[in-house]
Structure 1
Amino acid sequence: MANVNFLELSDGVKLAYQIDGPANGDWIICSNSLATDMRLFDYEASYLAKTFRVLRYDTRGHGQSTASQPPYSFPQLVGDLIALMDHVGIAKADVLGVSLGGMTALALAVHHPDRVNRIVCCDARADAPDPYKAIWDGNIAKLHNENLAALCEPTLTRWFTESFLADGANKPKLDVVRDMFNATASIGYEGTARCLQSLDVLPSLSGLTHDALFMTGAQDVAAPVAVMQAMADATPNGTFKVIADAAHLSNLEQPQAFKNEICAFLGC
């Protein structure tokens, strides 16, 4: 990928990042989901960069960023993001995150509220009930017993609707998703999966003062409509939108509908 830069953190991890958009634009940060990388936001960056200064990065253990040993924690992932913001000179930014990235955005807003303007939290959760934790135990066991590639196709059946997967016109997009998935370091996947099992920001949402847009795909089984509606209801300035005919990676499955909602919220 062109224009990728790296920040070396105090623990030796190198974070890959890219900046697009006008030098005088307000900042927006895009944070990726588990087993993807900054390419998840290629389309979003193409239009957000017309108005905003867009920072995309690969979460540790993903894409071109270094994988440290598991487990990871949300304070660690938030610390990575704060270090990156400080490095490029971002005092405050809007934050757009999908899945893991949405959870990171919420944790950033909870623990560093002065560094966040608005939140766009997509296809994410705010807690980790036992059935959700069990999913990651199963995936990690499969990772150890087989390999990361063995998780790819089963994961795609949860990330996208059956009709999207069956449409041959979507093969190029799905091939990029497969490439992102398989480019994820195995210990990066495991570390992040363990991190997801520690998710516990739901009690803190009532204290957020930021304007927040919560969105999920109508067929997202990982971040169901009822779960995200409750998150929006718990957030004083939260609003909630559902992306029709989409599952977990709603921005890839329905990019125009996703764009319409975030631009209505952000003013792009």
Structure 2
Amino acid sequence: MSTNTVTLPDGTNLNYCVEGKSDGDWIILSNSLATDLRLWDNEVKFLSKSMRVLRYDVRGHGQSESSPAPYDFDQLCADLVALMDHLSIEKADIMGISLGGMTALAMGIKHPTRVNRIMCCDARADAPDPYKAIWDGNIAKLHAENLGALCEPTLTRWFTAPFLQNADNKLGLDVVRSMFNATAPDGYEGVARCLQSLDLKGDLAGLSHETLYVTGAADMAAPVAVMQEMSDLTPNSQFKVIEDAAHLSNLEQPEEFANIIKKFLNIDG
């Protein structure tokens, strides 16, 4: 995998990678908080057979530069639009997990002509007070200690206990730890503040795009009931639940996740 860099209008350098069929339809993959474009290694294997795949590191994550906190969804969407313009992408399918899923929804709401289909995975559309408080606590811990202090507690929310305890998953979990620890502190805090500003729920009824919602049955951050309501509010949407998975459902149950995405996109792989 080779990556490239684009300089955004504010001078921040964004890391990205293009793979797949040169004449395929575009699909953009957007990562979650404290991960990077490696989050999508499994999905690229089948998507690249028939599509043109763009994955990128959100600002402050992976090899993308950070900027001072806070961030908001207008800014993250503007980053993605600038990247699309750089690559002359007029319109694309967008798939994201957690923060990335929220970004996919925000793109459909704020830049509807740039979006074809939306795949919003393990995400939510609003930020109630208990959800905001989680991020206040994490940011306080980040400042009092360091980013590494947040890694292992976060993994207990991202994955089910049996997955974490299975020795066969050690290499994959080490990659997740690597992604987490590659996140810039400003990037983590910037996105955490962005998540506190999440306010897309009232706009879901206006989405005209074909939309897929997916979540893990054990996801505490994006519970089944929350995502079911999002789907109920969204015209032309469908909702799938992945059993035996928590927040990063594509990593915990990659085969089931892949089957759901292939069926939605109507592709083989």
| TM-score normalised by structure 1 residue count | 0.99
Divergent runs of 4+, >3 A: none
In 2: Cα distance, 1:14 partner to 1:237 partner: 36
Partner of 1:217: 216
1:71 is paired with a residue of what secondary structure?
coil
Which residue number corresponds to residue 106 of structure 1?
105
Look up the match of 1:74. Answer: 73
- Per the alignment, residue 232 of structure 1 pairs with 231
The aligned residue for residue 52 of structure 2 is 53
For 1:26, give the aligned amino acid.
Answer: D
Counterpart check, 1:64 vs 2:63: yes
CA distance in 2, matches of 1:236, 1:5: 36
- Counting matched residue pairs gives 267
Distance in 1, Cα, partners of 2:86 & 2:9: 12
Which AA in structure 1 matches 2:9? S
Let me know the Cα RMSD of the aligned residues.
0.4
In structure 1, C-alpha distance between the alignment counterparts of 2:100 and 2:165, rounded to whole Å: 27
Specify the SS of the correspondent of 1:20.
strand
The within-5 A match list for 1:115-264 is 115-264=114-263
Query: Offset at 1:267?
Result: 1.1
Letter in 1 for 2:152: E
Structure 1 residue runs of 5 or longer lacking an equivalent are none
Tell me, which stretches of 5 or more residues in structure 2 are unaligned? none
Aligned match of 1:266: 265
Encode CA deviations 1:4-59: one digit per residue, 9 max, x unaligned: 00000121110000000111000000000000000000010111000100000000
| CA distance in 2 between partners of 1:88 and 1:3 (Å) | 16
Question: How high is the TM-score relative to the length of structure 2?
Answer: 0.99
Question: What is the distance in 2 between the residues matched to 1:260 and 1:47?
Answer: 10
Residue equivalent to 1:25: 24
> Partner letter of residue 245 of structure 1?
D
